[in-house]
Amino acid sequence: MERLQIKTGGRNQLLDVTEQIARLVRPHGKDAKAVMVYVPHTTAGILINECADPCVAADILEHLEMLVPPSASYRHSEGNSDAHIKASIVGSSVLVPVTGGELSLGTWQGIFFAEFDGPRSRHVYVTFLS
């Protein structure tokens, strides 16, 4: 298992980590069939979507914010219940097929670390499956 450190820059952010993952796959995932990218946090998630037009990431974040507003009648007293709920919806890991040491992403796909309670220093765990 490899660990990557990530610094996020806003309360909500979709940070493109595709190239950082790809750089780990080349040396460590030559014989792997898939790479699992896992987020060990409870107020952040990870997702795969379009990385060409940054408006797509902005739309995803803004719509999630509308569905799960930061202030509502939440019980958890730390003021970040929305971040926990968004992380539950988005999920804590993604799997991507690997072929010949390269990510088999679709043409428009990128891997985004989904920060919902930043800015923070975060980690992802990268595991190669065969």
Question: By the criterion CB under 8 A, which residues form the site for a second copy?
Answer: 1, 33-34, 36, 38-42, 47-50, 53, 55-56, 58-60, 62-64, 67-68, 72, 74-78, 81, 84-85, 87-97, 99, 104-109, 125, 127-130
Q: What are phi and psi of 116, to 5 degrees?
A: -120, 0
β-bridge partners, 128: 35
**Distance separating alpha carbons of residues 67 and 86, to the nearest angstrom:** 9
**Distance separating alpha carbons of residues 87 and 120, to the nearest angstrom:** 15
Pick 72 or 121: Cβ nearer a second copy: 72
- Min dist. Cβ of residue 11 to a second copy (A): 18
7's tokens: 């610094």
- Min dist. Cβ of residue 23 to a second copy (A): 19
